[in-house]
A = this chain, B = another copy of it.
Amino acid sequence: MLQDHAIVKHTTVPGHRHRAVGQTVRDQSIRLKADETIYSEGEHALAIYQVEAGAVRIYRLTTSGQRYILSFCGKGEWFGLETGNIRTDFAEAVCETSIRPFRANQNAAVPVDLLHIALMNLAKAQHKQLVITEQSALKRVAAFVCEMAERHPEDAEFDMMMSRSDIADYLGLTVETVARCFTKLREKRILRLNGRLQRSVRLLDRNGLMALTVQSSSSRSVKRFCVRNYLETKR
């Protein structure tokens, strides 16, 4: 599928990082340590990737040096699909991470539905717009915790691997505000935080959390709305 030299090249990482990797010839996946770069803005886009384990952050830098994280990609999610053949953003491992590259321009090689991937990413981006624009800091953080929780539906406790500043740059807030919001969620007995870095979350009140996140209108209210619009249009 994807040749070894291609992997090395577009990950912008020196070979020593693959030292665990005598076996990558057989196993195509790439193992990354925390904060290792996968690709950078301006590079040629040579492959798309699927996350096997861990998490990846996709971000951009503004002219003022601000980092803005467009999305986090967890297990099973795809990233690296671009409109052109030049990277418009950066991709880094959030923590110890394993990803699998797929060469995009080789027709016969990969049975990957690119359109589906693009549409999933579009849906993610649109949902994030809703979260970010309409809501208070507390609700944004709640929505973030929800998003993380949905990736661990079975576990009572899970580890969001992102730092507070990752979360801040993702939600368009500051580290301090994010910390304050987590404190509030703890005070409201909605969750408990464990671990040295307070990144392990145990949900105590899932409903209370959901109540904080604003969503799209339910199908019921939508139905009414459709009819009204339809009638208005008709006459």
Contacts and interface: CB of A to CB of B under 8 A. Distances in A.
A161 B40 CA distance: 38
Report how many copies the assembly holds.
2
Contact of A83 (B13, B20, B70, B120): B120
Interface residues of A, number: 72
B113 A12 contact: yes
B16 A225 contact: no
Contact of A68 (B14, B83, B134, B222): B134
Contacts of A9: none
Interface centre among A89, A116, A223 (most CB of B within 10 A): A116
B132 A15 contact: no
Interface stretch (A149-157, A182-190, A211-219): A211-219
A41 B233 contact: no
A63 interface: yes
Interface of A: 2, 12-18, 20, 36-37, 40-43, 60-66, 68, 70, 81-83, 88-90, 104-105, 107, 110-116, 118-123, 125-126, 128-130, 132-134, 171-172, 214-219, 221-223, 225-226, 229-230, 232-234
